[in-house]
Structure 1
Amino acid sequence: MAADKTTSMREAIATHVHDGMTVALEGFSHLIPFAAAHEIIRQERRDLTLCRMTPDIVSDQLVAAGCVSKLVASFFASGSAGSLHELRRRIERHDPERLEVEEYSHYGMVCRYQAGAAGLPFFPLRSYAGSDLPKVNPNIRLVEDPFGEGSVYVVPPLNPDVTIIQAQRADRAGNAQIWGISGIQQEAVYAARRAIVVVEEIVDDQVIRSDPSRTLIPSHAVDAVVHCPRGAHPSYAQGYYDRDCGFYRRWTAISKDAQQLQTWLKEWVHDLHDHTEYLEKLGEEYWNDLRVEPRYSDPVNYGSRR
């Protein structure tokens, strides 16, 4: 019988995330592991290298909380809602201190995770031709093509100490299923030394087996499974709740004022025991505008021998 890897968010972070680690929090547009990030803040982790393809609000919060000393990322923006002003203060003015940044393109980050997952020494790509990024990032290198004339850019592998992702559901062994935009979660998990999967619901293994193609993260790659409904808020979980666009718009004003940002972190993270209290503070009526109606895909016939 497969081992039960379910645990609490507090225990998962305490066990697998330590000061000085390289931590990847992935999820593209939806399934962003905000609740996990808030627990990292509560446990006051320090000197982390944060890896994220799109350093959005969750990155702004972790940096403002003093958890992150280096950011490895691409596409610095709060979705379509505005700037990340804590990052801007740290990068543009070193206020209150400098944040070290290692910047790639989106595809450059994808290639780094792919190289890390496959155990490759580097990954080639052509998308840096004409870009200024190689001038500011010495890890983006131009090498001769060993199979032909000319040259090609390469990036090094990315192997986080721990990757944290959010998924829709998993069984207790850690077989996690994702639908909708999948992003780079699978590669980021395989590239990491450890992996925490946070899910909207825990289901029986028969549910997972009934639709195996949705299992992007198999149990052998997972170290901990955390049941945390609505753990991706204010991002969304396809089929469970919608993106909180209002919060994304409000974040610009919150983050623009450094003191207001610290006040927000105290009220919504530090002063709360866990994500359950966060949800209670929001209140059930808050979710009325974020509810989604059922929209099922057509069933698939996998067939079975008689």
Structure 2
Amino acid sequence: MTHAKLMTLSEAIAAFVHDGCSVSLEGFTHIIPYAAAHEIIRQQKRNLTVYRMTADIVVDQLIAGDCVDELVSSFIGNSSVGSLHELRRRIEGKGPRPLRYREYSHGGMIARYLAGASGLPFYPLLSYAGSDLPKINDEIRVIESPYDGQKIYVVPPINADVAIVHAQRADAKGNVQIWGLTGIQQEVAYSAEKVIVTVEEIVDEDVITSDPNRTLLPSHVVDAVVEVPKGAHPSFVQGYYDRDGAFYRQWNDISKDPQTLQDWLEEWIHELTDHSDYVAKQGPQFWDQLASPYVPSLPVNYGSRQS
């Protein structure tokens, strides 16, 4: 049976990511959608607004690919092992093009996704009290509680044109399962107009229904599901492969020099047809060193009353 939601990565990005649109790219340390970001660079998408709580290497690459006009995030850094030099150059006005940057706290970004997923005009939170962020971000505002008159901060919703997330597995209908660090993938998906999910593997529907509590994204919220093994490298995918710490350390030197960075994009993205070429170029020995040990979860009994 053919399922319309099954696409190649090239097809999904071409169909849903358009010049000038807004894109949520989430995944906290775990299941970061690098392959999708590389395809955005490969297809030379332009003038994007990118939402990402932890703006890390994947954002540095997108900016270096001249894909991003505006970044909205709550953290900038290369996971405590270096800097994001292209991002820094753009914010400081030293790159070929400027970058608009709007900063929130992690709590503020989560609140924005919650508002977007819930159809709310704003979301309240108290954590900005004493912070300087409201002074530099005019979207963080103060209202009076209708119950006790308390002053509380509010932030607007995120409703991106498209959300892109990575996961362990899905069926062909787009029922998506995630375990390990689940983060805010569900809220991100429900807050967006369209949703692309890349997965390590497409599995039969009975695999999904046999363990329903792992289904974080049901099919009705997913517009495209793409099988992309190793699609989160250099981040990790619980149960599939480990984090590539060596690459995170190397990125500081790669991004420090603009020409070295452009050479990396050319070799590892533009000269390759798709992510399968990226995987093949690394070679089997490389992937063997990142292999995850087999540590199964204990089975549970989903039986209920006799039918």
Q: TM-score range by the shorter chain?
A: over 0.9
Q: Secondary structure at the match of 1:298?
A: coil
Q: Deviations over 1:203-258 (max 9, x none)?
A: 11111111111100000000000000000000010000000000000000111111
CA distance in 1, matches of 2:261, 2:3: 41
Counterpart position of 1:216:
216
Task: Provide closer, same or farther for how the CA distance between residues 94 and 141 of structure 1 changes in structure 2, counting only shifts above 3 A.
Answer: farther
CA contact (8 A) 1:126 1:152 kept: yes
Q: What is the TM-score normalised by the length of structure 2? A: 0.98
Counterpart position of 2:62:
62
**Are 2:252 and 1:252 aligned?**
yes
Q: How does 1:43-58 map to 2 (within 5 A)?
A: 43-58=43-58
CA distance in 1, matches of 2:111, 2:94: 30
- RMSD value over aligned CA atoms? 1.1
Q: Deviations over 1:174-211 (max 9, x none)?
A: 00000000111100100000000100000111111111
What is the CA distance between 1:288 and its match in structure 2?
2.3
Counterpart position of 2:37:
37
Q: Secondary structure at the match of 1:49?
A: strand
Q: Secondary structure at the match of 1:7?
A: coil
Counterpart position of 1:302:
302
What is the CA distance between 1:301 and its match in structure 2?
1.4
What is the CA distance between 1:5 and its match in structure 2?
1.3
CA distance in 2, matches of 1:248, 1:2: 39
Counterpart position of 1:97:
97
Q: Deviations over 1:115-156 (max 9, x none)?
A: 000000000011111111101100000111111132000000
Q: Deviations over 1:47-86 (max 9, x none)?
A: 0001101010000000010000000111101112121111
Q: How does 1:173-184 map to 2 (within 5 A)?
A: 173-184=173-184
Q: Secondary structure at the match of 1:107?
A: helix
Q: Secondary structure at the match of 2:236?
A: coil
CA distance in 2, matches of 1:190, 1:125: 20
Counterpart position of 2:197:
197
CA distance in 1, matches of 2:305, 2:120: 40
Q: How does 1:1-306 map to 2 (within 5 A)?
A: 3-306=3-306
Q: Secondary structure at the match of 1:24?
A: strand
Amino acid in the other structure paired with 1:193:
E
CA distance in 2, matches of 1:24, 1:136: 22
CA contact (8 A) 1:128 1:153 kept: yes
What is the CA distance between 1:35 and its match in structure 2?
0.3
CA contact (8 A) 1:177 1:216 kept: yes
Amino acid in the other structure paired with 1:141:
R
Amino acid in the other structure paired with 1:160:
A
CA distance in 2, matches of 1:3, 1:119: 29
Amino acid in the other structure paired with 1:107:
G
Give the gaps of 5 or more residues in structure 2: none
Amino acid in the other structure paired with 2:45:
R
CA contact (8 A) 1:23 1:162 kept: yes
CA distance in 2, matches of 1:78, 1:68: 18
Percentage of pairs with the same residue: 61
CA distance in 1, matches of 2:37, 2:227: 15
Q: What is the TM-score normalised by the length of structure 1? A: 0.98
Amino acid in the other structure paired with 1:108:
G
Q: Secondary structure at the match of 2:70?
A: strand
Amino acid in the other structure paired with 1:180:
G
Q: Secondary structure at the match of 2:289?
A: helix
What is the CA distance between 1:2 and its match in structure 2?
9.5
Kindly report structure 1 stretches of 4+ aligned residues shifted beyond 4 Å. Answer: 1-4
What is the CA distance between 1:287 and its match in structure 2?
1.4
CA distance in 1, matches of 2:33, 2:81: 19
Q: Secondary structure at the match of 2:166?
A: strand
